[in-house]
Structure 1
Amino acid sequence: MEIREYLKQDKVLIFDGAMGTMLQNKGLKTGENPEVFAYNNPEKLVDIHKQYFDAGSNVVLTCTFGCNELKLPEGYTVEMIIENAVKRAREAMEKSSSQKEKYIALDIGPIGEMLEPMGTVSFDRAYEIFKRQVVRGVKAGVDVIVVETMMDLYEIKAAVLAAKENSDLPVFATMTFDESGRSFTGCLPESMVYTIQGLGVDAVGVNCSLGPVQILPIVEKIAAVSDIPVMVQANAGLPSMVDGKAVYDIDIEDYYRGVEKFVETGAKIIGGCCGTNPDYIRKISDNIDSIKIKKRHKKYIPAVCSPSKVVMMDQPLVVGERINPTGRKAFKEALKANNTDYAVNLAIEQVNGGADILEINTGLPGIDEKAAMVTILKEVQSVTDTPVQIDSSKPDTLEAGLRYCNGRTIVNSVNGKEESMNEILPLVRKYGACVVALTLDEDGIPKRAEKRFEIAKKIIDRAESYGIRKSDIIVDCLSLTVSAQQEEAYETLRAIKMVKELGVKTTLGVSNISFGLPNRRAVNSAFLTLALGAGLDLAIINPNDERMMEAMMSYKVLRNIDSGCTEYIKRYSEMKQENTTSQSKGDTPLNILVERGIKDEAKEKTIEMLKNHDEHYILDEILIPALDEVGKRYEKGEIFLPQMIQSAEAVKASLNVIKEKLASENTGDKVSKGRIIVATVQGDIHDIGKNIVKIMLENYGYEVVDLGKDVPVEKVVDTAEKENIKLVGLSALMTTTVQSMKDTIEALKTRLPDVKVFVGGAVLTEDYAKEIGADYYSKDAKSAVEIAKINL
């Protein structure tokens, strides 16, 4: 039975448990590469898989979690590891006496380095890495592809696209979240579901990082918005070190009680992650049929999202219109000059003005519209968490926007022309986006509402034939210029009322109504109010036009959408009196540029300021306080890792200017508050956390000696002694390398007792850090900076 058919049954699909735990029991040494160990010990790998099959697993994951070209040591290729891993899983399947349906899943984990803009790996590079794994896995004969333990929505999107575009196999995808309800990069479970489900995966869920009690709220959030099977693989609690091994604190009975709650919540695919073994799986297999799987009946609410923000389309929303060159000379010039900071400033201003969604249009003759769309999309998404709407008349530009958007977007637009529907709707379906449908066809824009209704229905019917939900379609009944087409303009309002009966959302570019008239704001505001009353859902307006926002906010109060007038009171009781329009270039203070993460302008502002201020004033009185403010907002959950990194990069741009000035003056002065070693411990090849900590420390003025990843104990100690460094930061992302961290700490304390050590990584807790002898536990990059301030 094909695995998709299995999932249609009223049965739970059971996965295996931890691989690392089992390999350790088979002799895997601390810091040794699991995939290489399994390759060199095939009989041990076969036995592990067989134990899981015999325990009742329907699916075993191949020992390929870290099998990519960035992680494997020299002499081992992706192809040889995957081919061997699948072969051994198949042998185990044949040897197992279990009568259950059995499947082999290609296991794909994170590549181990951050994607842009937080890291250096491009989306396309990540895609190619995952594609190589997928192609070999398909050739080797796996039954399903599982993308798991992802922390970055952008990375899981690259992996899923690689799987979907290079195979016809079922694809399951899971991310890992912490107790805050977010991933390491700030991604929400709901954002994962809306984005990845739309790409056509067969199951979505959560694994690793948390025990069954802590992970349950995450499962509930996923089950609440997912339309496909939900997958859960929790850890067996929290780890502690016993005889050099990680031991977890949740026993089999408690773990199973957690599994019962997962299934009762709606999960249909269950397994185990770190700390679990065949005994945990046997308990599940022997008892799972007694649990009634919850049937999830819910009303689907269309939504768009960035990683850290979901915008539900269940009330009128503001779509910021200003990142569009039409009628905007300054933005046209910025596009021609490749000045992305201008678009970034427009994005920030519109978000501050109240935009729920940001439209991005780069359609300007004489430029590469597709390249500009990708560049501006990435820049805007790096500094704001507001979801976007991509606007273009060119299919290749729309697909580029769909592909590189980090989250779920809206495509603006498709129309009633056959060519448009044939080109655009397949893209919308492939990427799982929402879509704006324009009520025009080969004959242009109809005068009467009835004809616009007919075109809308034609597009809706065609979209549904592609598998696009009706509720994900947003019909634009088109605003016409009232000064020239007064009767037709009112027909727009009639059309909105009619189209709403089809069960779709509606949108309008509101300001089109007033072209050619004096006092346009008055007409725009009145038309917006009328359109909202007719059923307008997404108003494409300028959110920095306060009269328009007053109309929107007042409407929500009068329609009892803004319960208790909460948002209205908040906006207008705290409203500042200064002009909300954009500042001209050069007027924005350096600290604001840092907080916004605008690198090029921060650099130019620093050059300007150095004419009247010394470098220490700029560093100590402006840059560091600005970063502190960013850190406070990060800790409060107002911004997330991508925005914090962008702010750090803006500081870096300023610091580079300062360093160049000092070097040219040959003063011998240095912008350094002290020296710190950072290293990923021996056996661990993950650079993610360490690199983020490095960026933050450097931008607070510390000199960082980065020893890289997989660093031997002796190298850390020798460097600290030779360079007379008093603070060392160690990172580990794998449970199998925590012993290396402990060994490194012990060696440092033995030879250099005055050295302080802080540690961090996904597998660590504060108690765990104390247990292995660290002086400090660094939960994130901001806390690493606080530790540095105390010690240097």
Structure 2
Amino acid sequence: MTKVKFRELTKQKIVLLDGATGSNMQKAGMPTGVCPEEWMLENPQVLIKLQKEYIKAGTDILYAPTFTGNRIKLTEYGLADKIARMNQELVKLSKQAVAEAAAEMKEPKKVYIAGDLTMTGQQLYPVGTLRFEELVEVYKEQIAYLLLAGVDLFVIETMMSLQECRAALLAVKETCELPVMITLTFNENNKTLYGTDPITAITVLQKMGVDAVGVNCSTGPEGMVEIVKEMKRYATVPVIAKPNAGLPQLINDETVFTMDSEEFTRETVKLVEAGAGIIGGCCGTTPIHLSTLHNAVRDLTPPSNTPERERILTTERRALKIPDGGKFLIIGERINPTGKKALQEELRQGDFKLVTDFARKQEEDGADILDVNMGMNGIDEKETMVNAVFEITGFSNLPLCIDSSHVKVIEAALRIYPGRALINSISLEKEKIEKLLPIAKKYGAMFILLPLSDKGLPKNIEEKKEIIHTILQAAEENGLEREDIVVDGLVNTVGANKAAALQTLETIRYCREELGLATVIGLSNISFGLPERQFVNSTFLALAIKEGLTMAIANPSQELLMNTAFAADLLSAKEDADIRYINRVTERPGAVITRKENSVKGTGNSEKSGETLEKEAINKKSDIENLPEALKTKAFQQVYEAVIKGKKRDVISLVKEAITEGVRPSFVLDELLIPAINEVGKLFDKQIYFLPQLISSAETMKTAIDYLEPLLQEGEEKKKKLATVVIATVSGDVHDIGKNLVVLMLKNYGFDVIDLGKDVSSDKIIETAKEHDADIIALSALMTTTMLEMKKVIAMKKEAGLKAKVIIGGAVITQSYADEIGADGYAKDAGETVTVIKRSLGL
């Protein structure tokens, strides 16, 4: 199937996918704890029967049952050596289902088979140990076997990490030219577990060349309407919706999805009305659901694609809209070793403390984008750039501008950047234009168009315009659009050329009014060699903003410059510019300017931005009686901030410095570390922090505790464990990301945690709880097919007469389910688990 054929199909009709596989296999006798792919190979007729029924129900695209057929997942079952055979045989079964269905149908139809990929369950570096390139290779291996088996296209589904979506998409694109669909799973707040919102997801993935994007699993159709609407606003590709048949319930000791086919169809049709052109069913859906849905949508016209044409940069968790005539934006210029001896020395030592300090300070001062340049002698620039991107994206929620003179450096950074970045820059120089335009297209980046050629600077404004047109035409030939381009006004010094400012202003006006292009300038060049340069810079900036300048590369700590920009927006009558100006000049110094107005609608959390609330958390004094006075000491404040900001590299030196102030190690733990992790939990609850930040903060605290532990001497200083917790992912379930985070959090709070891992038998859980006289048994499950094991553990605990209370959690678990099976508590995430356990034990 070609990409063109795929697009034609989606324009002709509402494309119907298949329904659930796992829940139907379990109904057919598949036990918990087995590898689903292996069981289906051992019971092929069960799968073939189900897939034939889906085809007869109207399915256009059938998912081959290769969902967890990657090497990492198969290793968990001891089946990695069978990866080739399993993937190819599973596709063969789907092909057999298609052939048999066609033979049995009066009017057989064309059915396409999609090779199915999903997450590996391992955390990517720097949160985990799995490197991005390793993950790409894991996906490429499975893709190669699926291609040998003859799949027609690929689907990457049930994804929670945008970065893993990128890895899988790149793996497909670098292996073949077949169409690719990607669906993510979103929580109730319409963000993934890793904090990605629908607009960020569709912006990044469609710019990278995916053929359809959407949502599957985690909720019924009613919970997907807003997600589909948000995606559709900006979608240039079809939007997918594959909901569950409602939420699972426990009925007569069986996990049941209670939404029947009629209700499921009524609600799923609303997803088509919201903009979904490709639909199907996930957990709990059956061929009856698909047949009823097919009858309801077969005569409907596919939604048209009329997206809002916006310039959008993103991180993994935030989309930054760059509207025509909107708020003027600042690209922070400080992360650049030129002229900074201290930064140069740190980079030679592989230290990124100043890099992160510059990033944090610029964000606090009001930067909207961070320029990152690692160009200097004595280092491997490519490696250093990659590490800098890892460091900055670990805590900052500002998009990055990747700045280098070398093509390989830019590509290496774009490859691992978990969002949509800006390239600085692409000129008409032969190497730049020939190599960087395809790279910008491949990684979905925006780029700064620099009007230079191999001849050097343009001699006049006419030559500058000619260069702009030439690069613009080449960009469009490479599949890029005008919304992907920001033209550099190419500022020269007015001291050498009296007309320099006028020529730049004319370039800005021309690009805005005649070409519809955004513009940027490197501001400080205009005043080079002149005294009192700040007055020239700020005045020139005001004139440029009046002509329509979109953004400037500048130092956001320069108050005159920044206040001039806010005042220029005010005088230009830009939307909400009056409020922004008042906030800027009245709240400085020390206030973080709310940037909600620059975020795409749907990504904000409240009237205060996430950056503002995060800053407040750092400055907040804990409710603990002694903490306010303690935090007046700079060393103590830095320890507290290190946990909130996830400064794992710095925390030990900061703890050492705090101890030199003459306090006991227990004070550092009780009055600094624990209150800080409490604030992190609150940020996570408010959806200001997401999984990577929560893990980073928890790892920072663990590092500090590991250092402090030998210092907590016997007697007064020895910390007593709060209680003993036995924790496990239940039998048959090999997911442990959430469980591992709970373990980390509980240990940080002083609990004695016995982690049994994943896919743990109920017998082993009970035996361990008995052996250690556990106070708590904590159980996790991510799949509807394994959640019943929790009830089994509770029954066995009661029979054994254990005192332990049972706390449960996981993606498919709800409070009502906890009540039904008699659990002592339910926690929706790691932070809440600590609270629930403390409450249940009266701590």
Asked whether the two chains share a fold, i.e. TM above 0.5, the reply is yes
Query: What's the counterpart of residue 629 of structure 1?
Result: 679
Equivalent in 351, 362, 376 of residue 388 of structure 2: 376
- Aligned residue number for residue 688 of structure 2: 638
User: CA distance change for structure 1 residues 531 and 721 in 2, over 3 Å: closer, same or farther?
Assistant: same
Q: Determine whether 1:191 maps to 2:200.
A: yes
Q: Closer, same or farther in 2 for the Cα pair 1:627/1:51, shift >3 Å? A: same
Indicate the larger mover: 563-572 or 531-540: 563-572
**Equivalent residue for 1:522, pick from 530, 535, 544:** 535
CA offsets, 1:501-533, max 9 Å, x none? 212111112123233333332222222212211
2:83 corresponds to: 78
* Structure 1 residue 586, shift from structure 2 partner: 7.0
AA partner of residue 540 (structure 1):
I
2:682 equivalent to 1:669: no
Identity of aligned residues (%): 39
Match in the other structure for 1:297:
306
> Are 1:506 and 2:519 an aligned pair?
yes
Partner of residue 409, structure 1: 421
CA distance in 2, matches of 1:653, 1:74: 33
Which deviates the most, 613-622 or 531-540?
531-540
Once residues 201 and 364 of structure 2 are traced to their aligned partners in structure 1, the CA distance between those partners, rounded to angstroms, is 25
Task: Say which is worse superposed, 337-346 or 291-300, in terms of deviation.
Answer: 291-300
The Cα offsets for residues 681-706 of structure 1, whole Å up to 9 and x where unpaired, read as 11111111111212222223333221
CA deviation string 1:459-489 (max 9, x = no partner):
1111111001112111112222333344324
Distance 1:353 1:745 in 2: 53
Comparing 364-373 with 630-639, greater Cα deviation is found at 630-639
CA distance in 2 between counterparts of 1:207 and 1:290 reads: 23
Q: Which residue of 2 aligns with 1:600?
A: 649
| 2:575 pairs with 1:571 | no
The aligned counterpart of 2:445 is: 433
Q: Structure 1 pair 297/579, CA: closer, same or farther in 2 (3 Å)?
A: closer
Alpha-carbon shift at residue 23 of structure 1 (Å): 0.4
1:255 counterpart = 2:273: no
Counterpart mapping for 1:645-660 below 5 A: 645-660=695-710
Equivalent in the alignment of 2:67:
65
Q: Judging changes above 3 Å, is the alpha-carbon distance between structure 1 residues 78 and 752 closer, same or farther for their aligned structure 2 residues?
A: farther
Mapped to 2, the partners of 1:163 and 1:385 lie a distance apart of 28
SS in 1 for 2:280: strand
Partner of 1:170: 179
Measure, in 1, the Cα distance between the counterparts of 2:7 and 2:288. Answer: 24
1:291-370 map, 5 Å: 291-314=300-323, 315=326, 316-370=328-382
Bigger Cα displacement from structure 2, 208-217 vs 296-305: 296-305
Q: Tell me what 1:613 maps to.
A: 663
Q: Which residue of 1 aligns with 2:821?
A: 772
Bigger Cα displacement from structure 2, 753-762 vs 197-206:
753-762
Residue 724, structure 1, aligned to residue 724, structure 2: no
The aligned residue for residue 179 of structure 1 is: 188
Shift of 1:752: 4.3
Distance 1:439 1:660, change over 3 A: farther
Q: Distance in 2 between matches of 1:352 and 1:671?
A: 39
In structure 2, relative to structure 1, the CA distance for the partners of 1:578 and 1:537 (3 Å cut) is closer
1:19-60 CA distances to partner (integer Å, 9 max, x unpaired)? Answer: 012101211113332112101111111111111111111111
- Give the CA deviation at 1:667: 9.6
- How many residue pairs get aligned? The number is 789
What is the CA distance between 1:577 and its match in structure 2?
A: 6.2
Partner of residue 143, structure 2: 134
Report the TM-score when normalising by structure 1.
Answer: 0.96
- Asked if the contact 1:31–1:682 (Cα under 8 Å) also holds between the matched residues in 2, the reply is yes
Unaligned 5+ segments in structure 2 are: 594-618, 620-633
Report what 1:7 is aligned to.
Answer: 7
| Structure 2 letter corresponding to 1:605 | L
Structure-2 residue corresponding to 1:108: 117
2:613 is matched with none
Q: Which residue of 2 aligns with 1:464?
A: 476
Tell me by how many angstroms 1:16 deviates. 0.4
* Aligned equivalent of 2:598: none
CA pair 671-520 structure 1, distance change in 2 beyond 3 A = farther
- Does the CA-based 8 Å contact 2:236-2:306 persist in structure 1? no
Quick one: structure 1 residues 579 and 287, their matched pair in 2 at CA, closer, same or farther if it must change by over 3 Å? Answer: closer
2:554 partner amino acid:
I
The partner residue of 1:96 within 101, 105, 112 is: 101
The 8 Å contact of residues 347 and 384 in structure 2, kept in 1 or not, is answered as yes
User: Equivalents in 2 of 1:594, 1:176: separation in Å?
Assistant: 29
Q: What TM-score does the superposition give when structure 2 sets the normalisation length?
A: 0.90
Measured after TM superposition, the shift of residue 750 of structure 1 is 2.8
Q: Which residue of 1 aligns with 2:624?
A: none
Tell me the amino acid that sits aligned with residue 756 of structure 1. K
Which has the larger displacement, 486-495 or 315-324? Answer: 486-495
Q: Provide the rounded CA distance (Å) in 2 between the counterparts of 1:17 and 1:388.
A: 40
User: 498-507 or 588-597: which moved more?
Assistant: 588-597
Aligned partners of 1:686 and 1:709 also within 8 Å: yes
What is the CA–CA distance in structure 2 between the aligned matches of 1:449 and 1:749, rounded to whole Å? 84
CA contact (8 A) 2:563 2:585 kept: no
Deviates more, 1:378-387 or 1:737-746: 737-746
Residue 131 of structure 1 aligns to a residue in which SS?
A: helix
Q: Residue type matched to 2:581 in 1?
A: Y
Which residue number corresponds to residue 555 of structure 1? 568
Quick one: distance in 2 between partners of 1:703 and 1:549?
Answer: 51
Matched, 1:41 2:43: yes
Secondary structure at the aligned position of 1:347 is classed as helix
Cα pair 1:436 1:474 within 8 Å, conserved: yes
Note closer, same or farther for the CA distance 1:13–1:578 as it changes in structure 2 (3 Å cut). Answer: closer
How far, CA to CA, are the matches of 1:192 and 1:671 in structure 2?
45
Answer yes or no: is 1:542 the counterpart of 2:546.
no
User: Structure 1 CA distance, aligned partners of 2:657 and 2:590?
Assistant: 29
- CA gap 1:335/1:564 in 2 versus in 1, 3 angstroms: closer
Further displaced range: 413-422 or 111-120: 111-120
| Backbone CA RMSD of aligned residues | 2.2
- For structure 1, list consecutive stretches of 5 or more residues without a partner in the other structure: none
- Structure 2 counterpart of 1:328, one-letter code: K
- Cα deviations by residue, 1:358-404 (Å, 9 ceiling, x for unpaired): 11111111101111111110111111221111111111111111100
Q: Which residue of 2 aligns with 1:532?
A: 545
SS at match of 2:169: helix
Task: Give yes or no for contact 1:131–1:162 (8 Å, CA) kept in 2.
Answer: yes
Assess if the C-alpha contact under 8 Å between 2:55 and 2:98 holds in 1: yes
Alignment of 1:173-252 (within 5 A): 173-252=182-261
